[in-house]
Each structure stands twice: as C-alpha cells, then as structure tokens.
Structure 1
Amino acid sequence: MPDTAPLRIATRSSQQASTQAGAVASALTAATGRPVELVFVDTVGDRTQADNVPLHSIGGQGVFVKEVQNAVLDGRADLAVHSAKDLTSDTTPGLRLAAFTERRDAHDVLVGATLDELPLGALVATGSVRRRAQLAAVRPDLEFAELRGNIGTRLSKVPDGGAIVMAKAALLILELTEHIAEELSLSEFVPAVGQGCVAIECRVDDDDTRRALATIDHAPTRRAVEIERAFLSELGSGCSLPVAGHVRGSGLDIFVADPERSTSVRHRVELRSHPDGHESVDADLAAARQGARDAMASLAGQVASGDGA
C-alpha cells in the first residue's frame, strides 16, 4: 500500500530557497501523489548578512546548509533541499545525496554594466572570491566590494558606474532575468561546482524517502555534478583558494587561482566513455581527480616561477 504521509522538506526561508523547495515539492507530489510540507530553517549564512562580513570569514562553503541538514538528521524533516554549489565536497554523516534536479543555466552574469562598459577602476560587488579572481584575471584594474543579502537586496546595491555578479540560475528561478547586462562565458568564467543545480538529501536509513526522491532524480545532472564534486573533493576540504569546476560538453572545465600572487590556471579535462557510448562514471571521476592534481601542480609551478595567469 503506498505511503500517503506528507513528505517534509527542510529549506532556508529566503525567496530563492523557498521557491526552489516549492518546485521540488510540486515535482514530488506530481510523481508520487504524496502531499509535501515545507519546514523553514535559518542558517548561519542567513543570520550574518552584513556586507562587511565575507562568507569565507564565517565558514565559507557550507554556511547555508548545516542547520538545514540538522533538521533532517534530528527528524524535523524528511529531506533537505539545497543549492548544490552551497554543499561542501564531503558527504555529511547520516545523509545521502538522493536526487539532483535538472540543471538550470549555470552562467555567471553581470548586472549594471557589461564587462566592456565598465570604466577603468570600476567597482564590482560580489561576495565570491572565485568571481573576483576570474574577473581580475581579465580586468586587473577592477576594484571589488563585498555583496551579501537576498536577491532583491543585492539587485538594489549595484555600484554607481559599476556592476554586481550573480548566478543566472537565481534570476531564472525568480523570473528576474531582465536585470542581466551580460552573460559571462562558461569557459572563461567557470561556474562553481554544482552551480545551477538543486541537490536533495535524505537520511541514509530512510528508504521510503529515497524511493520517492528517485522519481525526480535527473541522471545527466547527477553525473555532471558528481564529476565536479570529485574534482572539488580531490582538493580537500582545507583548500581556501578560489576554485571552480563545471562539466561542459565532453569535458570538465577547471579554474584554480592564488589571488595574492595574481596567478590562476584554467584547465580542461576530457571525459571518457565506453565504445558503445555509455558514460564510464568511474573513469570520469578518476579523470576529474587527476585534473585537480594537474591544475594544482600547474598553479604551484607558476607561483614558484613568479609567472602570472
């Protein structure tokens, strides 16, 4: 007899997060017939929204997910919905990544002005060290400022004569794409691991929820994000450098930087497949890990020789 008990989704209460969770709820109900309830959770990242408090100073990646995960672990919710790019490379004990929704557009975008329109020394606001490093690699004249807050707050803080950087996926979710001045190249401005994707966790011993989530898991997105996460995992949880990894076409684009030395590396890993055309996931994961080692070795070599990007 099918389970008709409501599935409880833990999510942040921001407009973007709750909209993402609502889309997951609708998909689950359509696929399983079960009702779904949202359980709202505040995170450290939500409680520390001052522009002068950089994300990396309060924990960086993971500050928007831990309390949401705890709501599942302690039984207040059955599953947790996250922006995949907010997850650390380590799997949280007691939880499994049970589903990935189909990826939205992963581009970064400029709001306020295009890259060519920005005058010499223009101010660009972003809370991402990755985005700063990538922009500085092509426009070393730019100045940067912190940017925190929800989507509406960030859109209201475009500097005079400058721009802000955002994920296009966030604007797509909230139907705010009219604010985009320029879509940045995926190859030059490599997105964060998991950008544009929603990841869903449940408890490792909750087979009922796992089966429900399997109905909305998007296999191509899962493969891509698992490859990206393998690259990130190889760098280790202690890596504080700006990094990016994104599966695009038949390869994995990688970016690693040492902003203190104005040095960065772009690297592309060609992914492998069986002769019959089926993806070899294990081979691709191994290639992603090797790509991380190669990129870090190249970066170290540049730093040692004093060469910039």
Structure 2
Amino acid sequence: MSRVIRIGTRDSELALWQANTVKSALEKLGHKTELVPVKSQGDLVLDKPLYEFGITGIFTKTLDVAMLTDAIDIAVHSMKDVPTALPKGIVEAAVLKRAHTQDILIHKGTNFLNEEGVVATGSLRRQAQWLHKYPNHEIVDLRGNVNTRLQKLQDSDWNGAIFAAAGLERINLKPDSYIDLKWMIPAPAQGAMLVVAKEEDDFCRKALAALNHEPSQICVHIEREFLRILEGGCTAPIGALATIEGDKIHFKAALFSLDGQQRIGVEKTIAVSENKGFGKACAEEVLQSGGAELMKEIKQQVNNTKG
C-alpha cells in the first residue's frame, strides 16, 4: 500500500497556496498527499510586533511540534520565516525554485515620498531601510497575513505599506498602485519556499529531493549563513541577497541600526564553485567593520522594547 504524505501548513491563503504547490508537484511524481492546515501563534496574536514574542520561528513552531508528534509528515514554509537552526529531528528536504525576491510599496499616491508620510511594516529590516532613505517619515507597525495587512492599509490613513512582491503575486493580489523598491535589500531567503521533513523519514526525504532547485538552494544558504553568523534571527534589520549569473554568485547584504541611520554593508562576487562558507566570511567582515557593536545595541534596544 502506498503511503499518503501529510502536508502541514499554516491556514492563510498564501500558506495554502504554497502547500498546494508542493502537493501538486508531489502528485505529479505519483505520490498520494493530503493537506493538514494548522494555526500558528504568529497568526493568532496580531497586536504585538513579532520581535516581542522573544522567540524565533513564531510562524514555524506549531508545525514543528505537529511534525515531531507525528500529526504531519512534511511542512511547507516561506523560507524567510524559518529560523536558521532547525529543531532537532527536522531537516531541510527541498528548496523550491525561488520567486520574485523584491519588496514593493503599495501606496495611495506617491506625492508623500518627498514630504512627511506614514508607512506601515511589521519588519525591522524594512523599517530601518525605509528610514535610511526617508528619515522624515513615520513607521507604524503592521501585522497579520497578506490579506489582513492589505485591508488594514485600505482602512487606514497611512500613505503606504511595504510587502514582499512574491506573496502578493502568488495569490494574485498585487495592485496597480505599487513601486518596486529596487534599492531595498530583501530578507534572507525572501521569495523562497522550504519543505522540511523528519530526519528519520527516508520516504518523504527521497520524494522531496526531486523538488529541490539547486541554484535557489545555494543562494538562500549563503543568505541564511550570513544571517546566522550575525545572530539576527527575527530581531535585527538584516538584508541579504545572493544571485547566480552564469558561473558567478553576486552577493549584497547589510546590517542597519533600528533608526536606519547606520548601515554596514558588503558586496562581493565569487565563483559558484567557491560558495561554501561564503555567507560566513561576508558576515564576519560586517562584524569586524562595526557590526558586532551595532548588533549589541540592537539587541539591547529590542530587549528594552519587550520590557
């Protein structure tokens, strides 16, 4: 009897789209599957900024528990939400081909850009980079799934809100009134989907290996290694993007202060064959250029906010 692969997912529209994408891909390979939607604490508590929970992986923890207690076999995540260290017993099984990596601003008119304005985001990375470019603007917190955040923007008097292009494109919600933020460095692994499985589950790991897209995997590993060495988790304004062109990897990354005034960046190109340890080397360069002191300041400020 062939086994049914139980796919765990958050129950937002975007998460279900991602899970159904994996479901279809596995079924094309001849596997039987079923979706098991699970609500996460990150979806349920919408009145606190993410960093106030004090843990990384707020959107992935519920699915981790479901997998380790054998309620599901695999889980599908937006990779940028996944902590750089997976729980014991859970392993990366596939990185799907990456989508659009860019952030976009959805707005109600762009006149405010050169004046005073209010922009919404729940991301410290987006906040810091926006304030770096527009120091006279006010940032307000914006939480919830994509649909909720779009509705909150519509119901508010804010000038705009920042979103990941990939999420809106996947569920056909990208409006006409947006600007590509080409100058904003995305979150490590933004636009990538990760499927995890139990380390001991050879059947699922073998099935998912067929879905892995190696160029995407190489790029997100560099970005996440950079993040891990800087110890960013979900609490620091860190952007990182690796792209492959031919046999070269181009990497651009930066650490910002919370107010956006300080920026410590790195930009390098290497051969694809030399990618091992590249993210770590870039992170160490940032740490030695003042990043270590800046990370201490950021952690202190975030802890004071929690207190």
Q: 1:307 is matched with which residue?
A: none
CA distance in 2, matches of 1:301, 1:93: 28
Deviation at 1:291, TM superposition (A): 0.7
Distance change in 2, residues 1:22/1:239 (3 Å): closer
CA distance in 2, matches of 1:179, 1:222: 31
| 1:163 is the counterpart of 2:182 | no
Q: 1:136 is matched with which residue?
A: 131
Tell me whether 154-163 or 130-139 shows the greater mean CA deviation: 154-163
Distance change in 2, residues 1:84/1:116 (3 Å): farther
CA distance in 2, matches of 1:162, 1:261: 19
Tell me whether 261-270 or 286-295 shows the greater mean CA deviation: 261-270
Distance change in 2, residues 1:77/1:256 (3 Å): same
Quick one: which amino acid aligns to residue 46 of structure 2?
Q
1:155-234 matches, cutoff 5 A: 155-158=150-153, 159-160=156-157, 162-185=159-182, 188-234=183-229
Superposed CA RMSD in Å reads 2.1
Deviation at 1:4, TM superposition (A): 2.2
Unaligned ranges ≥5, structure 2: 295-307
CA distance in 2, matches of 1:261, 1:27: 41
Q: 2:100 is matched with which residue?
A: 105
Contact 2:109 2:159 in 1 (8 A): no
- 3-state SS of 1:178 partner: coil
For 1:184-209, what per-residue CA distance to the aligned partner results, in whole angstroms no more than 9, with x for missing partners? 11xx3111011001100001111000
Unaligned ranges ≥5, structure 1: 274-278, 304-309
Determine which of 49, 69, 73 is the counterpart of 2:68: 73
Tell me whether 95-104 or 34-43 shows the greater mean CA deviation: 34-43
CA distance in 2, matches of 1:270, 1:245: 14
Tell me whether 240-249 or 72-81 shows the greater mean CA deviation: 240-249
Q: 2:257 is matched with which residue?
A: 258
Contact 2:56 2:233 in 1 (8 A): no
Equivalent pairs counted in the alignment come to 288
CA distance in 2, matches of 1:153, 1:138: 27
Quick one: which amino acid aligns to residue 203 of structure 2?
D
| 1:268 is the counterpart of 2:267 | yes
Tell me whether 82-91 or 171-180 shows the greater mean CA deviation: 171-180
- 3-state SS of 1:80 partner: strand
- 3-state SS of 1:254 partner: strand
Quick one: which amino acid aligns to residue 164 of structure 2?
A
Deviation at 1:93, TM superposition (A): 0.8
**Identical amino acids, percent of aligned pairs:** 32
Quick one: which amino acid aligns to residue 47 of structure 1?
L
| 1:297 is the counterpart of 2:254 | no
Q: 2:242 is matched with which residue?
A: 247
Q: 1:286 is matched with which residue?
A: 277
For 1:71-105, what per-residue CA distance to the aligned partner results, in whole angstroms no more than 9, with x for missing partners? 11111111011000001111221011010111110
Contact 2:131 2:260 in 1 (8 A): no
Tell me whether 291-300 or 63-72 shows the greater mean CA deviation: 291-300
Deviation at 1:183, TM superposition (A): 0.9
- 3-state SS of 2:143 partner: coil
CA distance in 2, matches of 1:194, 1:59: 21
| 1:20 is the counterpart of 2:18 | yes
Deviant stretches of 4+, over 6 Å? none
Q: 2:299 is matched with which residue?
A: none
Q: 2:44 is matched with which residue?
A: 47
CA distance in 2, matches of 1:14, 1:107: 21
* TM superposition score normalised by structure 1: 0.87
Contact 1:226 1:285 in 2 (8 A): no
Q: 2:51 is matched with which residue?
A: 56
| 1:87 is the counterpart of 2:90 | no
Deviation at 1:119, TM superposition (A): 4.9
* TM superposition score normalised by structure 2: 0.88
Deviation at 1:298, TM superposition (A): 2.2
Contact 1:243 1:257 in 2 (8 A): yes
Distance change in 2, residues 1:207/1:168 (3 Å): same
- 3-state SS of 1:135 partner: helix
Deviation at 1:5, TM superposition (A): 1.7
Q: 2:304 is matched with which residue?
A: none
